[in-house]
Amino acid sequence: MLSRAFIALYISVFVATMGISMVSPLLPVYAEELGADGIWLGLTFSAFAVVQAIFGPIVGRLSDRYPRKPFIMAGLLVYMVAAIGYLTAQSFPQVIAFRAFSGVGTSMIFSVARAYVGDMTPRGHEGRWFGAFATADVIGFGTGPLVAGLIRQGIGFDAVFVAMASMMGLSALIVLLALPRVQPVRAGRRDEPAVRVPFRAALRDRLVLALTIHMAVTSLSFGASFSFLGLRLEDDIGVSPTLIGLAFSVQDLMAGVAQPVFGRLADRYNRRILVMIGIVAVGVSLFALGTVESYALIVVCLLAMGAFNSLSSVASSAMQVVAGRRVGMGTVLGLGSTGNGIGIVTGSVAGGVLVNASGIPAAFYMGGIVIALGSLVFLGLTRGLAVEETVAPAGLPPGPRVEPELARDPAP
């Protein structure tokens, strides 16, 4: 696992996610100071997701044809430009515009980096590899808001954006110098041909469809609630910027601790059941965030969300690798990126409507209910499907692939 490529991707994704997460909880507050409210606040959080939904499958598809390294580097540079844009913004529409532009970077960084790791992952070890790699995301996202809160409280908003731009530049340099430029579909499995399936055929595979919908529903729930978590903590609970950063951090730090453990579980136990347990528990925690009135209880809910979301995430990520071997790794993760984008923007806009009508807690109620209902859809679509692959005995080639439920359309 500890290859040069894995380590380079891990470090670069960790640095990038830390930089990105430094500004995410601050943007709605920043936009509110510039005059935004309601739906506009939701868009401040989620505008990137509109662009991500459009570019995600395109970038994923292209990264199945060409080396993935240039896509990752370009995405990091896009985020660096967006950070500078936040620093110079004079109105909340400008903040939203740069947030939307950052969606191009999101499409290029995260799904492509995960596809690169998926190419290297041995059969039967998907949970272990992605349980380890996902800690780069969750620890980066977990430490970023806390660092941002300290910087904001000690220096000011501008310094946070400067720090984000610096993080993006550093991460791009790491990728340039350390990540091998290798044709990803050949990495570690030179005897296997590249797999590319048209999008319409890929979505006829029930596993691909279930995973894409799962990403959309989960992101809708988080978009509806986390767009307003910073405001709930600052306006309703009245806590300091440092404590707001800590609240955003504890969920991801808990997930970072849990991911490697749950990754091994995902290689041993039924992944569908693990996803279901995680989804339902996250839904309960989200609903509770709208009811509790103390900072300590909010932190408890976020800790629970971090643990159970990591359980669901690592099991579904392992299933994405299995599906990616059938239809193309970048294709599956690109479709997941589209589901993620559609979910976030839909959730944040719907959350904004609810907040205007009923107050901030309504966004959390919506998030909890939607993700719980989505678990039933996932359970139905994946019923009877094989979502694991066994490890071949020593000295023998890997076992046969699970046949996808696809029409045999020729790849373009």
The residue ranges of every structural domain in the chain are 4-182+196-381
Joined tokens for residue 292: 């509790």
CA dihedral angle for residue 69, residue 83, residue 11, residue 214, rounded to 10 degrees: -80
Q: What is the amino acid identity at position 258?
A: A
Instruction: Determine contact, residues 115/63, Cβ cutoff 8 Å.
Output: yes
Dihedral of alpha carbons 325, 327, 331, 333, sign: negative
Instruction: Give the H/E segment covering residue 13.
Output: helix 4-23
123 SS3 class: coil
The neighbour count for residue 29, using CB atoms within 10 Å, is 20
Instruction: Determine contact, residues 175/69, Cβ cutoff 8 Å.
Output: yes
The neighbour count for residue 270, using CB atoms within 10 Å, is 13
Instruction: Provide the whole-model pTM.
Output: 0.71
Joined tokens for residue 90: 């004079």
Distance CA 109, CA 68 (A): 9
Distance CA 63, CA 329 (A): 9
Domain spanning 4-182+196-381, CATH architecture = Up-down Bundle (1.20)
Distance CA 312, CA 289 (A): 19
Taking Cα atoms as reference points, which of 352, 336, 315, 359 lies closest to residue 60? 336
Q: Which pLDDT tens digits describe the chain residue by residue (412 residues)? A: 667 888 888 888 888 788 777 877 677 777 777 777 766 776 776 677 778 778 888 888 888 888 888 999 999 999 899 889 888 888 888 888 888 888 888 888 888 888 888 888 887 788 888 878 878 887 777 778 778 878 877 787 788 888 888 888 888 888 888 888 655 444 444 444 455 667 777 788 888 899 999 988 988 888 777 777 877 887 777 777 778 777 777 777 787 778 788 888 888 888 888 999 999 999 999 899 888 888 889 889 889 988 898 888 888 888 888 888 878 888 888 888 888 878 877 887 788 788 888 888 888 888 888 888 888 888 888 888 776 665 443 333 343 343 333 333 333 3
Mark 105-134 as b/e (b = at least 16 C-beta within 10 Å).
bbbbbbbbbbbbbbbbbebbbbbbbbbbbb
Mark 67-80 as b/e (b = at least 16 C-beta within 10 Å).
bbbbbbbbbbebbb
10 burial (CB, 10 Å; 0-12 / 13-18 / 19+) is: buried
What local confidence, expressed as pLDDT, does residue 168 receive?
87
Distance CA 37, CA 346 (A): 17
